[in-house]
Structure 1
């Protein structure tokens, strides 16, 4: 394998990516050319919303070719184009053959939620101390148990075993929270998401873990629920404040995650007309907020 590396301004990224694909690139990846420098710029977007821009002001494009001759030919063709004047060829380099599946899998290890409750990728053995384990293929959708927001939600669910009642996981991603609720004594579990791929992933993961739940679009949420869990991000959580609060049954719990510590007051203010939120857990700059109806 051979990698052709280019740099270009933000407004050339889409054009160059299309051109490289037309020149038989096996893959095209775009990165921040200033990564690791004071000029590095993060691109963030809320779920369901586009990021503020599609690329970086100085973007690095790495494209993969099967043969060096193909990579060098692509570079020569691009150099001859008028639009390439603002771009630069960094070079062509050989890439060692790798077992990409094994390499990807090696990045995910079993995750301990409590001493007895673990999240275990399907290619690992369940640790002997795990009395409960969710078997999951990372990458199907957001929610692998490795992010602090997911871990905090899972810890809360494990700590309230037998008290969960009817549960809804709003913005279910991989379904990991809904599956955990089913494993910890929920009487009925529903999972909803705006992404059809997340709904499919949730159904697949639930079947793989031999738990029963109902997965569908948000319109399917009927309520009330004794436990409403939403691990999204602060902005959609604020927008959803009236809806999520209305879904909680009297005496039930609202559990929110995807919130940075500095956003706590924003969330408290958004939910104040409905429920009184407080910080129940924190990890690595993220917080878990809960309220009782």
Structure 2
């Protein structure tokens, strides 16, 4: 395999990427050429906020080709185009053969939720002190236990075992629903607007030998002792009356995906229905709960 790397200004990234695609590149990646320098600029905003920029000022574009000759031919063709005028060539280099599966797996280690509760990828052995384990591999849906919002929700679930009915609204990978089942919930439902997430929840539940129901939001029926929602602040505000209506009297509403600076926004949005308070904090994120 050979990599052809180019430097490109912000306004040429899309055109150059399309050109690589037309030249049958095996893959194309775009990186901030000024990353880790004083010239680095933010491209993505905080959750719920629009991006401050549409693209980096300078981008490093790398295309992968099966043979060196194909990379050289692609470069010759690109240099003849008008849109290449402001681009520069960084070089063509051979890509060393690697075990990409093993390399990817090495980046995901077991995640400690509590000293006795761990999230463990299938290629790892559980830690000896783990009494409760969820087997979960990285996939298409959000929720592997590595993000602070997921960890906070999981800690809450572990501290409140044996509920009767649990609803995981926006279930993603199904990790919260699976945790609820592992910690004794009698009836667990996970719903998501993404069909891939629903399938991921079904698959992960089967892999962890737990019984739960998963589907689109119309699967929700009745009220629940615990309603979990690890989404983001903006949809949580919109969903306030709906989520609260799903919580039975004396039940718990547990929400994450909220930045510390968004605390008062959520308190005000839920004030007509319940008294939200902060139950946990981690890395600038908060877990908010209420008893209805």
Scaled by the length of structure 2, the TM-score of the pair is: 0.93
Say if 2:67 is the partner of 1:67. yes
Q: How many residues matched? A: 291
Partner of 2:188: 189
Residue 126 of structure 1: CA displacement? 1.6
Residue 185 of structure 1: CA displacement? 1.0
Map 1:201-216 → 2, pairs under 5 A: 201-216=200-215
CA RMSD of aligned residues (A): 2.0
**Cα pair distance change 1:124/1:205, threshold 3 Å:** same
Question: Structure 2 unaligned runs (5+)?
Answer: none
Partner of 1:40: 41
Residue 7 of structure 1: CA displacement? 2.8
Partner of 2:277: 278
**Cα pair distance change 1:50/1:77, threshold 3 Å:** farther
Partner of 1:77: 77
**Cα pair distance change 1:196/1:54, threshold 3 Å:** farther
Residue 33 of structure 1: CA displacement? 2.5
Residue 24 of structure 1: CA displacement? 2.0
Partner of 2:290: 291
**Cα pair distance change 1:263/1:226, threshold 3 Å:** same
C-alpha separation in 1, matches of 2:251 and 2:66? 57
Partner of 1:240: 239
Partner of 1:4: 4
Which one is further off, 175-184 or 270-279? 270-279
CA contact under 8 A between 2:134 and 2:208: conserved in structure 1?
yes
Residue 40 of structure 1: CA displacement? 2.0
Partner of 1:90: 90
Residue 46 of structure 1: CA displacement? 5.4
**Cα pair distance change 1:125/1:36, threshold 3 Å:** same
Partner of 1:145: 145
Partner of 2:120: 120
Residue 51 of structure 1: CA displacement? 6.2
Deviations, residues 27-79 of structure 1 (Å, cap 9, x unaligned): 111222232234321324859x9967764343322111122222222121111
**Cα pair distance change 1:106/1:27, threshold 3 Å:** same
C-alpha separation in 1, matches of 2:199 and 2:54? 27
C-alpha separation in 1, matches of 2:58 and 2:233? 29
**Cα pair distance change 1:53/1:141, threshold 3 Å:** farther
Residue 248 of structure 1: CA displacement? 1.1
Partner of 2:58: 58
**Cα pair distance change 1:204/1:51, threshold 3 Å:** farther
Say if 2:252 is the partner of 1:231. no
CA contact under 8 A between 1:35 and 1:41: conserved in structure 2?
no
Partner of 1:105: 105
Q: Secondary structure of the equivalent of 1:185?
A: coil
Which one is further off, 233-242 or 53-62? 53-62
